Structure 1
C-alpha cells in the first residue's frame, strides 16, 4: 500500500525561492574591518536571478563546475545560493592550500568559472596559467581591469556583470539526486579526494542543522559563520540559515581576535561556529581586553576537540556555552553534536559535554575492531568508526586508484579513520585518528586525551602529541608545546602534571618547545609535519630519563 502524500524534489532551487520570499527580511551581513555591508535574503534572491542570467551568458550549463576562491562574505553567499539552484555545481576552493594542491583539485573537478575575491587576486594569478579548464574569472571586490590572465581566459567584474542582466530567472525543476556542490578533503595523506553532494543530501543535512539536536537555528538567531565556506560548505550554515530564516554574519578576511570581537560587539551574534584554534585566540584576547560576549547563546566547535579547560573558561568567565560537534567532508559535515541528555548533572554532564556528541537521527553508526568485527556500544570498547546515511558519501568523485575506495569504504559503510567508543545512548567519544593513535608496547595511548591534559596546565597555550619510532617499545609519544607568554614551565614540570592522571609507562620522554604548532588548511594540528620534522632532526627536543 502506498501513501496518499504528494512528492516534490528537495532541491536548492526550491530553497532559494523559499528563503527569498518567506524569509525575505533575514540578512547577510559582512564585516569590512570597521563597519558592515548588509543585504536581505529578498535582495539576495533578486541578485541571484541576475547572477544566473550572467552565468548562462558565459555558457555555464547543467553540471558545469563553478568554483569560488573567496572569504566568507555577502557575494560568496550569493554565489552559494545561485549556482546549485540553476543546475550547475558549486565548488568552493580552499584558499589556504598549496598551489600544487589547488591545481590538482581544479583540474580534477574541471572547474570552468572561478569567482575570485580581490584581496586574493594576486595569489590566484599565480596558479591560473596552470588551470587548463578555467575559461572565466569573475573578480569580486576588486579591479578586474588590473587582473592578469593568460590567453583564453576572460576576466569580468562581478558587479558590472550583474548590472547588465535582467533580474528575472526561471530556476529549473531539478532532480534532488543530481549533483549540487562538491568539496575536497584536505589531502593530509595522498592527493585530496572529491566528494559530490546532491541537492537531497544538502537539503536533509541543512534541515538537521536547524534542529535542536544540532544547532537549533531559528528566525531570532544571528549566526556568525567563522568556519570557512570552503570547509565542508561552512558546515551547511548558509543553507541552514536559508531554511530557518536565521540571519548570517560573515567576517570576510578579518579573522584575528581583535576584529572578530569588534564585529561581535557591533552585531551581537546569538550563535557561532568555528574550529577550536579561533576560540583559543579569542580567549587570549578577552583575558587582556575584557568584553561581554554573553549574548552568544551557543558556540559549536568542530574539526578538533576543544580542551576542557578552554570550554570551562568560556562558560565560567564569559557565560558562553561551547558545544562539540563531529563531522567530515565525507559526512556533509555534521554527524554528531554534544547536547547532554536531560538527566546529566555534575561530572556526568561534563563527560557528555566533552564527547563528540550524539549521532544524528539519519546517521547509522558502528565501531569495528582489529579483526574487522563490530564491537559493542558499551562506552568502553574501542574501534574504528564507520557511518552511513543519506548525507554520507558512498564513494569518491572519479577515484584515481581503486585502493582509495577499498581503504575508505566497507560494503556501503564509510570508514572514517577515527578511533573511539560509543555509549549505549549513542554518544561518540573519539580517542584518536587511526593514523595518530600511539601504540607503545602493544598498548594504545590517546594523543587527543594527552593533549587535553597538557593544555590544562596554566602555562600551556597549545600542545600536540604524536608518535615517534622507538627501538624498545615500537612507538612512544612526543610532545610539541607552545607556552603562554610570560608563563615559565619545563618538560619535567609538565610531565609531573601528567603523572597525576597517567600511568608511568604512558608518560612522554620527548618534549619540544616551539613558537607555533603547524596546522592544516582548516586549523587542525598537522602531525605529519611534526613527524617529518622529528625524522629530519629539525625538531629540537628534550629527552627525559
Structure 2
C-alpha cells in the first residue's frame, strides 16, 4: 500500500530518481578486449521501458519468473530493473552453480523465460535437456559465438528493436521483485524472496553515512557479480543516489581491476578478499588508487596486514558482514564517535572486526537453548539478525528444517560471534567450521587471518580433521605467493607468538589453489571431505 500522496517504494522509483538527478551519468562496461563502452541512466531507462514490452510479447504473465544466466554488464543490468518494473520476478542464477543446481533453481523458480550471455550458451547447453519448463530463451550478445543448441533463441537486441516503450504499471510495494538463491553448500540452494519495498529500503540504507555512504559523485565498481545478492545491492543504491557504475564482466584479473580503478575514476569498490589479495600481490603504482577512497570487502576473513597495506595507499578497507537472507548488508566496520582519538593502528584494528550493525538492522546473540546473551565483548553465541528489509522465510517448499532458521522475525545466521558494549561484532566462526579440540573451541577464521598475515602466504583455509586423542585438530591448506618458498616449520614459528600454542595447526598442506564455492568463498566442505581421512 502507498500512503496517500506518497511515492510507492518500487524499483521503478529508483530508476526515475537516477534519471532525475543524473541522466547523463555513465554506466561503464569493459569488454573482453579491454575496451571501455557503456550507457547512461537516461539511455538505460529508455531500453528498460522497451524491455517491459518485450516481456509481455514473450508471454510472461504478471508475477511470472524470468531467469538470467549472465555476467555483469549493462545489458544484464537492464533485466534487474525491467523485470521487477513489469511486475514480474527476477531470478538471477549463479553461473558457478553445478549443472544440477542450475537445473534445480530454474525449475523451482518456475521460470518460463531465461536470458543467457552468448559466452555462456555452451555451459547452459549441458543443462538444456533439464530445462523443460523454459519456453523462451533470449541471448545477450557479447561478441562470443552462440552454441548451436540456441540457434533458435531470440536475440536480445532484435527483441528490443521491435518493442515499444511502455511506462511501468503500478506495482505493490510488497510484491516480490527478485528471488535470490543461497550458495547451496548443504542440500539444494535456498530461495530468498525480496520485495520492491525491501530493495528500496536496502538502497536507502546503503546511501547512509554509517553504511556504504553512496553519493551522487561516487563511481561504484562492484566486483561481486549481479547474480550474488544483486551485487550486494550496489546497482540499486547507485540508482537511488544517481552514482556512476563500472562493470567488467568475468574479466577480473588483477591488471584489469587496476586499469579500471584508474581509468574510470572509481571511488568505491566492493568484492571478496580474493580480488584485493591478488591486486595487492600485483603491487600497482599509487596512481591506480588516486580516486579510490574506500573498499568494502566481505565473504571471508581479511588479513589484518591487507587492511594496513591498503591504508598505506590512502584507501580505507571496510570489512562487511552480509547474507542473502538480508539482501546483502548486515554490519560494516567504521570508527565511531569517541574513537577518533585512538592511535591510527588502533583505529585500523576496528576494521578487522565485522563492525557495527548498519541502520535498519538489529543484532543479538543466542545460546544453544535460544536464550539471549549479553553484549560484553566476551560471551559468544549464534548471531541473530532482523532488519527493515530482511526475509523471514525461505521459499523452498517442504524444507521444514529451515523453519528453525527464522523465528519471531529473527534469522539465526549460523555465525558464532561476540558483540562488545560499543556494538562491534566479532565473528568467531561459522558454527559448522569451529574446531573442537579436547573440549575447547578453535576459531578457523582467526587462524586463517594469522596465516594470511605471513608475507609469503597468498591464501589459507583451516578445517577440522579427526584426531584420536583430541577429537579434532586444525589442518591448514596454504597457497604460497608466486615465487615464494613457505615451509611448515616457518609458518609454525610465525604463528607461535600470534596464537595460543594449542591453536597451531598440526599439519600444513601446500596447494596451488584452494577450492571456492559458487559465491567465491573457501569451500570448506570440499576441504573437509578431501583431507578428513588423512
Bucket of the pairwise TM-score, normalised by the shorter protein: over 0.9
Counterpart residue number, 1:343: 338
Alpha carbons 1:135, 1:154 under 8 Å: kept = no
Counterpart residue number, 2:473: 476
C-alpha distance in 1 between matches for 2:200 and 2:179:
14
For each residue in 1:103-131, what CA deviation from the matched residue of structure 2 results, as whole angstroms up to 9, or x when unmatched? 11111111111111111111112212211
In structure 2, the CA distance between the partners of 1:146 and 1:190, relative to structure 1 (3 Å rule), is closer
In structure 2, the CA distance between the partners of 1:143 and 1:501, relative to structure 1 (3 Å rule), is closer
C-alpha distance in 2 between matches for 1:186 and 1:22:
36
Deviates more, 1:300-309 or 1:339-348: 339-348
1:292 lines up with 2:288 in the alignment: yes
C-alpha distance in 2 between matches for 1:469 and 1:145:
49
C-alpha distance in 1 between matches for 2:54 and 2:501:
66
Counterpart residue number, 2:464: 467
Partner SS, residue 393 of structure 1:
coil
1:372 lines up with 2:367 in the alignment: no
C-alpha distance in 1 between matches for 2:208 and 2:257:
26
Counterpart residue number, 1:45: 45
Counterpart residue number, 1:503: 500
1:105 lines up with 2:105 in the alignment: yes
Counterpart residue number, 1:64: 64
Alignment of 1:310-459 (within 5 A): 310-316=306-312, 318-344=313-339, 345-346=342-343, 347-406=345-404, 408-459=405-456
For each residue in 1:176-221, what CA deviation from the matched residue of structure 2 results, as whole angstroms up to 9, or x when unmatched? 0110001101011111100000111110001101111111111111
Counterpart residue number, 1:259: 256
Partner SS, residue 413 of structure 2:
strand
1:78 lines up with 2:75 in the alignment: no
Alpha carbons 2:261, 2:292 under 8 Å: kept = no
C-alpha distance in 2 between matches for 1:51 and 1:137:
14
Cα distance, 1:142 vs structure 2: 5.0
C-alpha distance in 2 between matches for 1:239 and 1:143:
27
Deviates more, 1:138-147 or 1:347-356: 138-147
Alpha carbons 1:20, 1:42 under 8 Å: kept = yes
C-alpha distance in 2 between matches for 1:525 and 1:116:
27
C-alpha distance in 2 between matches for 1:272 and 1:382:
32
C-alpha distance in 2 between matches for 1:387 and 1:271:
26
Q: TM-score normalized by structure 2?
A: 0.95
Counterpart residue number, 2:23: 24
Cα distance, 1:92 vs structure 2: 0.8
**Structure 1: gaps spanning 5 or more residues:** 538-545
**Structure 2: gaps spanning 5 or more residues:** none
Alpha carbons 1:325, 1:336 under 8 Å: kept = yes
Alignment of 1:90-239 (within 5 A): 90-142=90-142, 146-149=146-149, 155-167=153-165, 169-239=166-236
Q: TM-score normalized by structure 1?
A: 0.93
C-alpha distance in 1 between matches for 2:272 and 2:45:
30
Cα distance, 1:99 vs structure 2: 0.5
Alpha carbons 1:129, 1:149 under 8 Å: kept = no
In structure 2, the CA distance between the partners of 1:279 and 1:130, relative to structure 1 (3 Å rule), is same
Cα distance, 1:72 vs structure 2: 0.8
1:15 lines up with 2:14 in the alignment: yes
C-alpha distance in 2 between matches for 1:69 and 1:491:
42
Partner SS, residue 94 of structure 2:
coil
For each residue in 1:137-184, what CA deviation from the matched residue of structure 2 results, as whole angstroms up to 9, or x when unmatched? 11111589954448xx961111111011122x1211111011000110
Counterpart residue number, 1:540: none
